[in-house]
Structure 1
Amino acid sequence: AEAALSPSFANNHHPQPDRYGFYSDTPGNSVASPSSTLASGATSSSRSRSEAVEIIRRREKKWLDMLNNWAKVIAKDYQLVRERCRKGIPDSVRPKVWFHLCGAFYINRDDPDLYRKCMTKVPNERTADEIERDLERQFPHHELFMQPDGHGQQALRRVLRAYAGAFPDVGYCQAMAPLAGALLLHMPESDTFYTVYILFDKYMRGYFRPGLDAVQVDGQILYGLLKRLNQPIYKHLVKYKVEPLHFMVDWFMCLYVRTLPWPTLLRVWDVYFCEGVKIVFRVAIALVTAVLGSSAQRRRLRSFEDTLDSLRRLPASATQAAVLLPAALKLQLSAADFEREHQKQFRLFNLRKLARQQQVQEQQEAAV
């Protein structure tokens, strides 16, 4: 069966997807048009298109050379890899680079039958139903997912069911679908599974377990870093009782898939797969600063509702890669700063959790 088209498509007999596969004239689609960017940070504003294409080709060759000697390069020249990731990975090699950066390449090499084995594990009925309900919500305006139960949805179903069935202690969470779906837009199905496997186990460990303890801790880490970097912003959030979980859950759990324009998202993920979770915090701080950074902005947002609404409706200018990435990467935060804040907030979280458990126990004993 053919995919149902939106009314805007009906007015255009030959709609064309943008360079990422999205139909960008669809209402509500935040993806930039094909002409807005060339490839991962290269634009045609200051150079002719032919010069820009040549630059991209040279960058592609550099990445291919690194991939051909990956173990040696990543061990001896990580700083070069990081620098090139921050510049943006060319579209043509991005899937393969991500696959190597996150370590999925090694999992696949050491256990090439892992996906096939996991596909034999059947999730429980409730989990399977949850996955099924979420399939049609993922990227409905992308050519891969537009057709109901088409190739995209079928592949996403297999990946999510395989993971949930093989790891029932983690199971399935709604935030997994956009992450796996985003990877499927760039990778073959098998590569997507291996990347999902290491993403959920290594990069996002604890994020999808009941209680979302890891997300809560990261929310407090975010506020701790904000307090250190920008006291006025931190005080504003505290004054109007805006908690981190009010706005950062979707940012962190979906890694900005539902937040940023696609070209910007890819640039953030380029850094994420290389440097890890620190870029997620950096981007969050940069976004909050774009909304609350000036005293004039804060004066206009004099309530909980206004402040939260502004954080949920980010200005388009703040989410462009050319603005957001430099703002995030220039923040004066070291690895030691992140580790120190993590240790502090993890300790405080556990103390609060223990206190709540003791309180519940005392109440239960008093009721007997």
Structure 2
Amino acid sequence: MAESSSSKKMMGFGSTPQSQGKSFWKRGGGGRLPAPGSVKPVFGAQHPPLNAPIDAVSSPAATSKQSVSVSPTKSTASRTFSLGVESRTDSSRTRSASYDETVPAAGPTPASLRDDSVSTPSASTPKLPVLSEREALRLQKFVRLIEGTPQTPLEELNKISWSGIPYPIRHTVWKLLSGYLPANVERRQATLERKRNEYRSFVKQYYHTRLQDQHQQTFHQITIDIPRMNPTSLFQQTIAQECFERLLYIWAMRHPASSYVQGMNDLATPFFVIFLGAYLDPAEAQDAQTADLSKMSKDAIAEAEADTYWCLTKLMDGIQDNYTFAQPGIQVKVHKLKELVKRIDAPLFQHLEDNNITFLEFTFRWMNNLLIREVPLQCIIRLWDTYLCERDGFATFHPYVCAAFLVNFSKELRAQTDFQGLMIYLQNLPTSDWDERQMNEILASAFQWKYSFNDAPNHLG
């Protein structure tokens, strides 16, 4: 089976990053001088990595650090916070659904995907997050793009999403950028219902075959890999693991060219966390990794599972050659990364060569799992904001991100003097305390190098 051959090729797959207790960045004194390695805006680029303008009508007050709590009213601003709130009724909380033997009816739909999604104050109004005035203005701009016109301008949505998407609306933006939801506002609800029903029909058609002799090995590999996923409490819950068993097995049955390969389970985790957050109170959505699924509506979980399946399918369409026989996609990306590092940081490249470190030995996992095992999940979510905006971002932009990620540790790696020390460090990079700030710096460097090299391939190799 494809998954068995791929599994044998995995190197250090089970290791997890461990904190080294080091600080890599410090601010300049008095704010006058930039810190070493600090990010500078790239001018003339299609998507400036940082500090993109918020809105042409922003007032001077928008730059203040004053925090504001936005109440749910019928204004445009209030609708930003209806975007992450699931419709909560007694029936939606008590309906029971199971994918194993019974296919559930369509459950509640996130408010952001309905035209009448205007929250009104009530005794059960959920606690709202506190956002700075700048964040609130930026969130309003996203809402105007998504709901303010009959046809969402995807090119403009791409541009403002590149530098990060506000979490209360991220679940909707990801579906749009993935191509799962149409740009036409009126078609979105019907599309969601149709695709979710289609996924339910796949479960009825395929899931019972997991016990058949010819499919047992595939399902067995999935059940082995799922408990090894992200160690946060969400993915250790039986309900979440059953969702992943279904959606990964259905994907494998519908894509026999690659079937299931170890590592695909990780690629579904960011989608599941974000789409699950759509059914939590806005103040809780950012911490969906700690959600207690036993307290959530089963229909809501089923919808998040279906949405995860379809967006994972969209992602895999662009990188499926990473998982077919001999994994040619990974081979090509590793070679490109090697040539990039050779040009960008020659001393580091030579140091790795002198110590007999081959790039495939430590970057296979980076390509196979899209860095999910190397940095915290919140950093991956921020990274995917940008990948979804780039053309073939998961395939073509990823090697540049990996190059920036590796070069970021150049000094520490060159301090290692032997093969063993280098491999241990490379497989346990000190990223456990990283947040979006470090990921923004990696993305800015990656974008600069893409801008320099991607249109001039003769400069590489």
How high is the TM-score relative to the length of structure 1?
0.70
Q: 1:100 to 1:342 in 2, by over 3 A?
A: farther
One-letter code of the match for 1:57? Answer: A
Q: Pick from 287, 300, 312: which aligns with 1:196? A: 312
Q: Pick from 132, 157, 178: which aligns with 1:53? A: 132
Identity of aligned residues (%): 23
Q: CA deviation at 1:152?
A: 1.0
Indicate the residue corresponding to 2:258 in structure 1: 170
One-letter code of the match for 1:308? Answer: M
Indicate the residue corresponding to 1:95 in structure 2: 171
Summarize the alignment of residues 207-356 of structure 1 with structure 2, pairs less than 5 Å apart. 207-275=322-390, 276-277=393-394, 278-292=396-410, 294=411, 297=412, 299-316=414-431, 319-331=434-446, 332-334=448-450, 337-338=453-454, 341=457
Q: 1:244 to 1:117 in 2, by over 3 A?
A: farther
One-letter code of the match for 1:300? Answer: A
CA distance in 1, matches of 2:175, 2:151: 13
Indicate the residue corresponding to 1:13 in structure 2: none
Q: Tell me if structure 2 keeps the 8 A contact 1:256–1:265.
A: yes
Q: CA deviation at 1:260?
A: 0.9
Task: Provide the secondary structure at the position in 1 that maps to 2:166.
Answer: coil
Task: Provide the secondary structure at the position in 2 that maps to 1:128.
Answer: helix
Indicate the residue corresponding to 1:109 in structure 2: 191
Q: CA deviation at 1:86?
A: 3.2
Q: Tell me if structure 2 keeps the 8 A contact 1:131–1:161.
A: yes
Q: 1:133 to 1:57 in 2, by over 3 A?
A: same
One-letter code of the match for 1:93? Answer: I
Q: Tell me if structure 1 keeps the 8 A contact 2:248–2:265.
A: yes
CA distance in 2, matches of 1:89, 1:215: 28
One-letter code of the match for 2:263? Answer: A
Unaligned stretches of 5+ residues in structure 1: 1-26, 31-40, 346-368
Higher relative contact order (CA closer than 8 Å, sequence separation 6+): 2
Deviation by residue 1:306-338 (Cα, 9 ceiling, x = unmatched): 222222222339944213322432343246833
Q: 1:212 to 1:291 in 2, by over 3 A?
A: same
Q: Does 1:73 align with 2:153?
A: yes
Task: Provide the secondary structure at the position in 2 that maps to 1:333.
Answer: helix
Q: 1:182 to 1:266 in 2, by over 3 A?
A: closer
Deviation by residue 1:84-117 (Cα, 9 ceiling, x = unmatched): 2233111111111111112122499396354234
Deviation by residue 1:203-246 (Cα, 9 ceiling, x = unmatched): x1211112111111100000111122222222222222222221
Q: CA deviation at 1:282?
A: 2.8
Deviation by residue 1:116-171 (Cα, 9 ceiling, x = unmatched): 343223451210111122222223432x3333xx3211211111111111112221
Q: Does 1:206 align with 2:285?
A: no
Q: CA deviation at 1:279?
A: 3.9
One-letter code of the match for 2:329? Answer: A
Q: 1:49 to 1:146 in 2, by over 3 A?
A: farther
CA distance in 1, matches of 2:389, 2:420: 36
Q: Tell me if structure 1 keeps the 8 A contact 2:376–2:434.
A: yes
One-letter code of the match for 2:315? Answer: L
CA distance in 2, matches of 1:208, 1:336: 29
Task: Provide the secondary structure at the position in 1 that maps to 2:261.
Answer: coil
Task: Provide the secondary structure at the position in 2 that maps to 1:136.
Answer: helix
Q: 1:160 to 1:83 in 2, by over 3 A?
A: same
One-letter code of the match for 1:63? Answer: F
Matched positions, count:
295
CA distance in 2, matches of 1:258, 1:172: 18
Q: Tell me if structure 2 keeps the 8 A contact 1:268–1:279.
A: no
Q: 1:279 to 1:168 in 2, by over 3 A?
A: same
How high is the TM-score relative to the length of structure 2?
0.57
CA distance in 2, matches of 1:318, 1:228: 29
Unaligned stretches of 5+ residues in structure 2: 1-15, 20-49, 52-63, 69-129, 183-187, 276-303
